[in-house]
Chains A and B, each alone.
Chain A
């Protein structure tokens, strides 16, 4: 989606599903990575490694990306961002969202996996709209 660089803003929100028991720690870990300035690298790593999200895995990915182990472990173990993740889940619930991934493109929902052409079409409509 490089062609949209500079014209589109992408906001990531956490929506760990309740029946994915390893998801919530992974989402909290990604926010620890964000605090260390490595959110997108860590985020990409999680999707590559899915679903290897045991605590040791989460720490190893952080160390691999150059984060300080002690700080990261402290952040993860004290669940520093549990409330922030829960806030995203609550906002999703308030919007009536329950499937992942859900994309809101200027408020227009696109739920589930779709071919890239579908995204292009919706984004282009939004770019060309009023």
Chain B
């Protein structure tokens, strides 16, 4: 619950996307820029999938 609230706050604050990376060993938080033309689906969606990919 706390995590969702934090992410929502960051979205408002920076107009980008706050991502709290959760792994068994570590927590890292980075604000990601979001390019609207490279995004699909509603900004209000409950689930956001950020894909880091390489075309090659």
Q: Which residues of A contact B (CB under 8 A)?
A: 4-17, 20, 22-23, 26-27, 30-31, 34-35, 37, 39-40, 43, 46-47, 50-51, 53, 84, 87-88, 91-92, 94-97, 100-109, 123, 126-127, 130
Contacts and interface: CB of A to CB of B under 8 A. Distances in A.
Given A22-B56, A130-B4, A13 B45 contact: no
Interface of B: 1, 3-4, 7, 17, 19-23, 26, 28, 30, 32-35, 37-43, 45-56
Nearest to A111: B52
Nearest to A33: B37
A64 B7 CA distance: 40
B56 A8 contact: no
B47 A101 contact: no
B48 A23 contact: no
Contacts of A102: 51-53
Nearest to A84: B35
Contacts, number: 149
Nearest to A5: B41
A107 B49 contact: no
A7 B49 contact: no
A15 B47 contact: no
A14 B55 CA distance: 9
Nearest to B53: A101
14 contacts: A4-B47, A7-B45, A9-B41, A11-B49, A26-B56, A31-B38, A34-B38, A50-B55, A92-B52, A97-B52, A100-B53, A106-B7, A123-B47, A127-B46
